[in-house]
Amino acid sequence: MKLLIVEDNQDTAHALAASLMAQQFTVDIAREGQSALELAEVTKYDLILLDLILPGIDGLSLCRELRGQNQQVPILLLTAKDNPADRVAGFEAGADDYVTKPYEQLELLARIRALLRRGHTVLTEVLSWGSLQLDTNNCEVRCHGIAVHLTPKEYKLLELFLRHPRRIFDRRTLIDHVWSLDECPGEEAVTTQICGVRRKLQMVGLHPDPIETLYGLGYRLKLLPDIQDQQRDEPRLDNLTRVDYHPQATLVSESGDAKGKEDGHAEAVAVAAIQQMWPEYQERLQGQLARLEEEIAAISTHSLTPDYRQHAYTVAHRLIGSLGAFGKLRAAELAREIERTLKTPTPAVQSEETAHLKLLLQQLRDATYQSPTFAVSSVTSVVLPTSSQVLLIDDDTDLIERMQADAPHWSIHLEVATNLTIARQQLQYLTPDAIVLDITFLNTSESSFTLLAQLKRQLPNVPVLVLTRQGDLTKRVEAIRLGAQAFLQKPAMPTEVFQAITQLLNRINSITARLLIVDDDPILLNLLQAQLQSWGFQVTTLSDSSQFWKLLEAIIPDLLLLDVSMPGFNGIELCQVVKSDPRWSKLPVLFLSARSEAEILHQALAVGADDYILKPITEADLIQRILKRLGRITTCRPEEGSRS
> Could you report the per-residue pLDDT of 382-403, keeping only the tens digit for each?
333 346 788 888 888 778 888 8
Residues contacting residue 212 through CB under 8 Å, at least 6 positions apart: 219, 220, 221, 222
More confident residue, 196 or 534: 196
pLDDT of amino acid 273: 63
Percent of the chain predicted with pLDDT > 90: 10
Report the distance separating Cα 471 and Cα 469, nearest Å.
Answer: 6
Average pLDDT of span 416-428: 79
How wide is the angle at C-alpha 44 spanned by C-alphas 39 and 48, nearest 5°?
Answer: 70
pLDDT of amino acid 572: 92
pLDDT of amino acid 243: 29
pLDDT of amino acid 46: 87
pLDDT of amino acid 233: 45
Q: Is 425 helix (H, G, I), strand (E, B) or coil?
A: helix
What are the φ/ψ torsions at residue 129 (nearest 5 degrees)? Answer: -145, 95
Q: Is 419 helix (H, G, I), strand (E, B) or coil?
A: coil
Report the distance separating Cα 326 and Cα 304, nearest Å.
Answer: 30
Q: Say yes or no to pLDDT of 119 above 60.
A: no
Q: Say yes or no to pLDDT of 88 above 60.
A: yes
Residue 611 burial (CB count, 10 A): 20
Range name among 365-374, 422-431, 495-504 with the lowest pLDDT average: 365-374
Q: Say yes or no to pLDDT of 264 above 50.
A: no
Strand (E) positions, 396-475? 412-417, 434-437, 464-468
Q: Say yes or no to pLDDT of 339 above 90.
A: no
Assign a CATH topology to domain 514-642: Rossmann fold (3.40.50)
- What's the maximum distance between 2 C-alpha atoms anywhere in the chain? 91
Report the distance separating Cα 127 and Cα 124, nearest Å.
Answer: 7
Confidence of residue 253 (pLDDT cuts 50, 70, 90): very low
Report the distance separating Cα 575 and Cα 591, nearest Å.
Answer: 9
Choose the most confident range, by mean pLDDT, from 77-91, 113-127, 323-337, 525-539. Answer: 77-91
Assign a CATH topology to domain 261-367: Four Helix Bundle (Hemerythrin (Met), subunit A) (1.20.120)
pLDDT of amino acid 344: 66
Judge contact between 323 and 282, C-beta under 8 A: no
Sheet strands side by side (includes 75-79):
26-30, 2-6, 47-50, 75-79, 97-100
Average pLDDT of span 552-577: 91
**Do 2-103 and 514-642 agree at the fold level?**
yes
DSSP secondary structure letter of residue 327: T
Q: Say yes or no to pLDDT of 381 above 50.
A: no
DSSP H or E run through 629: helix 619-629
Judge contact between 108 and 236, C-beta under 8 A: no
Q: Say yes or no to pLDDT of 241 above 50.
A: no
pLDDT of amino acid 636: 43
Report the distance separating Cα 461 and Cα 257, nearest Å.
Answer: 43
Choose the most confident range, by mean pLDDT, from 489-493, 534-538, 606-610. Answer: 606-610
Which of 612, 463, 627 has its CA nearest to residue 535?
A: 627
Report the distance separating Cα 226 and Cα 131, nearest Å.
Answer: 13
Q: Under CATH, to which class is 388-506 assigned? A: alpha beta
Domains of the chain by residue range: 2-103, 149-230, 261-367, 388-506, 514-642
Q: Say yes or no to pLDDT of 633 above 60.
A: no
DSSP H or E run through 359: helix 350-367
Report the distance separating Cα 269 and Cα 263, nearest Å.
Answer: 10
Task: Kindly report whether the global pTM for this prediction surpasses the value 0.75.
Answer: no
Judge contact between 182 and 221, C-beta under 8 A: no
Percent of the chain predicted with pLDDT > 70: 79
Choose the most confident range, by mean pLDDT, from 41-55, 395-409, 425-439. Answer: 41-55
pLDDT of amino acid 383: 33
Q: Say yes or no to pLDDT of 211 above 80.
A: yes
Q: Is 636 helix (H, G, I), strand (E, B) or coil?
A: helix
Average pLDDT of span 265-270: 52
Range name among 191-195, 347-351, 489-493 with the lowest pLDDT average: 347-351
Q: Say yes or no to pLDDT of 416 above 80.
A: yes
Q: Say yes or no to pLDDT of 347 above 60.
A: no
DSSP secondary structure letter of residue 545: G
Q: Give 127-179 pLDDT, tens digit per residue.
A: 888 889 888 877 789 988 888 888 888 888 998 898 888 788 888 888 878 88
Residue 199 burial (CB count, 10 A): 14
Q: Say yes or no to pLDDT of 568 above 60.
A: yes
CATH of 149-230, picked from 3.40.50.11390, 1.10.3720.10, 1.10.10.10, 1.20.1250.20, is: 1.10.10.10
- CATH code reported for the domain at 2-103: 3.40.50.2300
Amino acid (1-letter code) at residue 42: V
Range name among 55-69, 230-244, 420-434 with the lowest pLDDT average: 230-244
Residues contacting residue 483 through CB under 8 Å, at least 6 positions apart: 452, 453, 455, 456, 460, 464
Average pLDDT of span 562-584: 90
Average pLDDT of span 438-462: 71
More confident residue, 580 or 426: 580
Mean pLDDT across the chain: 77
Q: Say yes or no to pLDDT of 274 above 70.
A: no
Q: Is 342 helix (H, G, I), strand (E, B) or coil?
A: helix
Judge contact between 248 and 223, C-beta under 8 A: yes
Query: What is the DSSP pairing of strand 140-143 with strand 412-417?
Result: unpaired
Average pLDDT of span 256-271: 48
